[in-house]
Structure 1
Amino acid sequence: MTVDIRKKVPEIRFGEFDGEWSLKPFGSVFQEYTEKNHTELPALTIVQGHGTVLRDESNRNIQYDKENLSGYKKIKEGDFIVHLRSFEGGLEKSNSDGIVSPAYHTFHSDDAVTNFYYPFFRSCFFVDVLLSSHVYGIRDGKSIDLDGMKIIDIPITSKSEQKKIGNIFSQLDSIINIATIRYEKLLAFKKAMLQRMFLQEGESVPQIRFVEFEEEWGYALLKDIARKVIERNDYREYTETFTNSAEYGIISQRDYFDHDISNADNINGYYIVAENDFVYNPRISTNAPVGPINRNKLKRKGIMSPLYTVFRPHDIDYAYLEWFFKSQYWHTYMFYNGDNGARYDRFSIKDDVFFDMPIPFPHMEEQQKIGEYFDTLENAITAQAQKIAKLKQMKSALVQKMFI
């Protein structure tokens, strides 16, 4: 015998509603159905967290045989969908009538409001607590026991209260979506400005420029504005090891890996990295096809593996140089001058060739203006990302407090 310890009323509730909620098995509220031979309807695909979209209008390159569409399942707007092997985010909803792959299971209810149940079916409580006991297999082999899912108790309240709660989450999702679109536009704008505010091949001035500057840009070799750092941690004066991530920049190894990777017995051979030193990491990735170059902005010294190239700029604005290395301008030089036979995950280039890299070199005042511009833009992007994170935290908290 099991004892139900779930509360009967939510912590946060609209004042016009009272009385206890109830719990019913999923399978008694939602009925699975299968309707095929609806080739007149459009094929749909699922975007995690957003429901269905038209397959032909999605950004995915999905190959499918249109002659097999008669075997696809009809899904009605507002109904729920689950794939037994791709369920980590919970159940998804259909945003329109259409047809979906026969690998999906489709559910309908006359007594359920979609926008009420959608945040619940995607909540951590549903996925990680209620659904997890009906998941079998490991890693990529995980799957849902459909019969087990159908006996999960889900909250039941009046349709009027469902609609009221569902409207709150729909409005919150709309706000999050608008904030996300703005964030993505800011990222795209930054990418475009990085291309246009630095010199392109064959140009003497950038495509976009502050109006007060008119003179042509020159070039400086990296070796003329920076020196390679060769000071080693001989006396183990420093113990904090840094790492250079394409995504996060220069950060403490402890923060990146949750523990130290470097061997304390060998750190005397590591380079000392001072504030505003730059570090080249030869490890390549999708975001850094020749490896990232980042600036130490941690406001403290640390150490880095001799696998990295550390250099200390002079006679150039730090922010300007930092943003130059966030552009793709210098990638061409690396590709043309890198060594053949490099490891598949590392880029190889000789030190003397690396430091012969040409750096576009306007007057210091223009450098400073460009650096400040991109710093300001990056602050706006960070603020927008933080806003989105707070909105999602708010939504998660409301799901916990507005459901039982």
Structure 2
Amino acid sequence: MATPKLRFKEFEGSWLTSKIGEVFEVTSGATPLRSNKEFFKNANIPWVKTTDLNNAVITHTEEQISKIALESTSVKMLPKDTVFVAMYGGFNQIGRTGLLLNEAACNQALSAIYPNENISSFFLLSYLNHNVKEWKTFAASSRKDPNITKKDVLSFPFNYPTLKEQTKIATFLSTVDTKIDELTQKHELLTDYKKGMMQQIFSQKLRFKADDGSDFEDWDDITLGEISSKSLAKNKDESISEVLTNSATQGVIKQSDYFERDIVTTSNLKGYYVVEIGDFVYNPRISSQAPVGPIKRNKQCLGVMSPLYTVFTTNKGDINYLEYFFESSIWHDYVKSVSNSGARHDRMNIKNQDFFDMPILYPCLAEQTKIANFLTVIDQKIDNVTEQIDHAKTWKKGLLQQMFV
């Protein structure tokens, strides 16, 4: 028996302390044989996998199965308001949840917790999300990719109040989630708008005017080597110990902030390049976010980077414009055309000369500045919404710590 720190004033008394298996019926799904095409032909039955879970209501699934699969295999339909828990995938995946909006089936990597008329499914979902870290204590620590079992799910602790209080809590949290979803959608719309504007700008479908209303002159085609030089200074005396990395999503950041542990030590930094504030860094490692590797500007601090990176300093032009140019994809085709086809599959292999022969779209300085200022305003709006989302999530997390037992 226990009570939460924060509670709606009309409720009192202790919450019940139980286990999932004492309150709910729990089952798991199955995967139809993929070799049987009939199981996935004319498929219209939602089939939930761990990749469909986002700790919220499930609105769609990546895959569907056919009625034949449902009738011929151990896959079973699950009712609306079923709550899923991911059992496989390592510490980053186990315990992820999802709530069924409509009937669906699921695969064997999920535990399906059937709805109970005395328990709000959204309350259960919120409770499990709040306690997601607890699944680690149930994971098989001897395995490389820890997982949980149905037995673990059945024995997972579950504390709950009356249905009326559950519903009040669930309704309140649903309102908070709606606000976060609205902000997230606004963030996505602004991000898409920025991408669209960058496409128009760098294709020159959108041109800016001079302050007197006149047209700017045509853009020049120059090479990267004409406006920059490679930074060759190395950390020979090991006077700099801050190691930087270039992330496709986060830009140039401290390695200690990016990785869970330092992957280099201060004893092997002599051959690392010195990176000044304002320098650009090319990371040849490719990813879905950076198909030819990212070029980002160092705004962090003086640091050093692995020789695997290309560090360069610009000596001409508006540095903010150039940062947006490299954020675009306009230069990707060139890099693909000069990269070594025999390179590692996850890394571009480009000679220095070819890299610095990269063509740069180069308007006059005044238009560069107008472009940079325009895109900066959009970025500021995106950052503002990001801050609102972070604040809302932090506020919700604080509420959950006090509203649940």
Residue pair 2:79, 2:114 contacting (<8 A) in 1 also: no
Relative to structure 1, is the Cα distance of residues 180 and 351 closer, same or farther in structure 2, using a 3 angstrom cutoff? Answer: same
**CA deviations over 1:51-86 (Å, ceiling 9, x no partner):** 33344xxxx3x3644421225423222232345436
**Equivalent residue number for residue 4 of structure 1:** none
SS in 1 for 2:159: strand
Over residues 335-386 of structure 1, what are the superposed CA-to-partner deviations in whole Å (9 max), with x where a residue is unaligned? 1122332233321222222212111111111101111222222232223223
**Counterpart position of 1:288:** 290
Question: In the TM superposition, what is the alpha-carbon distance from 1:332 to its structure 2 partner?
Answer: 0.8
Tell me the CA shift for residue 42 of structure 1: 4.3
Alignment of 1:302-341 (within 5 A): 302-341=303-342
What amino acid sits opposite 1:251 in the alignment?
A: I
The 2-side partners of 1:229 and 1:34 are apart by: 57
Instruction: State how many pairs are aligned.
Output: 380
Please list the CA deviations of residues 224-276 of structure 1 after superposition, one character each: whole Å capped at 9, or x if unmatched. Answer: 11122223334444333322222222222333335554454553433332221
- What is aligned with 1:89? 95
TM-score (norm 2): 0.83
User: Within 2, Cα distance between the matches of 1:297 and 1:69?
Assistant: 55
- For residues 251 and 221 of structure 2, what CA distance do their matches in structure 1 show? 26
1:61-113 CA-to-partner distances (Å, cap 9, x unmatched) read x3644421225423222232345436723443221234445765341211112
Q: Is the 8 A contact 1:278 1:293 kept in 2?
A: yes
Conservation of the 8 A alpha-carbon contact between 1:337 and 1:353? yes
2:124 to 112, 117, 130: 117
1:41–1:97: 8 Å Cα contact kept in structure 2? no
2: distance between equivalents of 1:259 and 1:81?
32
Q: Which amino acid aligns with 1:75?
A: L
**Do the aligned partners of 2:46 and 2:64 also contact (CA within 8 Å) in 1?**
no
Aligned-residue offset at 1:14: 1.0
Q: 1:163 aligns with which of 156, 160, 167?
A: 167
Say what the alpha-carbon RMSD is for the aligned residues. Answer: 2.9
Q: Is the 8 A contact 1:23 1:156 kept in 2?
A: yes
Q: How far does the alpha carbon of each residue in 1:159-216 deviate from its partner, in whole angstroms, 9 at most, with x for none? A: 22111111111101111111111112222222222222113xxxxxx11233444432
Where 1:161 maps in the other structure, the secondary structure is helix
Instruction: State the distance in 1 between where 2:316 and 2:158 align.
Output: 65
1:138 maps to 2:136: no
**What is the alpha-carbon distance in structure 1 between the residues aligned to residue 246 and residue 384 of structure 2?**
23
Q: For 1:8, which of 2, 6, 18 is the aligned residue? A: 2
Structure 2: distance between partners of 1:193 and 1:366? 15
Q: Which of the numbers 156, 176, 179 marks the counterpart of 2:180?
A: 176
Q: How does 1:253-264 map to 2 (within 5 A)?
A: 253-257=255-259, 260-262=262-264, 264=266
Q: Deviations over 1:94-136 (max 9, x none)?
A: 212344457653412111122222200222x2x333x445444
Shift of 1:313: 0.9
Aligned twin of 1:17: 11
Tell me whether 171-180 or 187-196 shows the greater mean CA deviation. Answer: 187-196
Q: Name 2:230's counterpart in structure 1.
A: 228
1:49 maps to 2:51: no
The equivalent residue for 1:27 is 21
One-letter amino acid matched to 1:114 = S
Q: Superposed, which structure 2 residues align to 1:181-260 within 5 Å?
A: 181-199=185-203, 206-212=204-210, 213-257=215-259, 260=262
Opposite residue 26 of structure 1, the aligned amino acid is I
For residues 379 and 330 of structure 1, the distance between their equivalents in structure 2, rounded to whole angstroms, comes to: 25
Relative distance call for 1:269 and 1:132 in structure 2 (3 A) is closer
With normalisation by structure 1, the TM-score equals: 0.84
1:128 aligned residue: 133
Contact 1:34 1:74 in 2 (8 A): no
The answer as to 2:390 corresponding to 1:389 is yes
Relative to 1, partners in 2 of residues 1:321 and 1:108: Cα closer, same or farther, differing over 3 Å?
Answer: same
* Alignment partners' CA distance in 2, 1:63 and 1:77: 17
CA contact (8 A) 1:221 1:357 kept: yes
2:73 is aligned with 1:75 = no
What letter corresponds to residue 178 of structure 2 in structure 1?
S
Q: Contact (CA 8 Å) 1:290, 1:331: kept in 2 or not? A: yes
**Deviation of the 1:401 alpha carbon:** 1.0
Q: CA deviation at 1:295?
A: 1.2
**What is aligned with 2:115?**
108
Matched position secondary structure for 2:178: helix
Unaligned runs of 5+ in 1: 1-6, 200-205
5+ residue gaps in structure 2?
A: 30-41
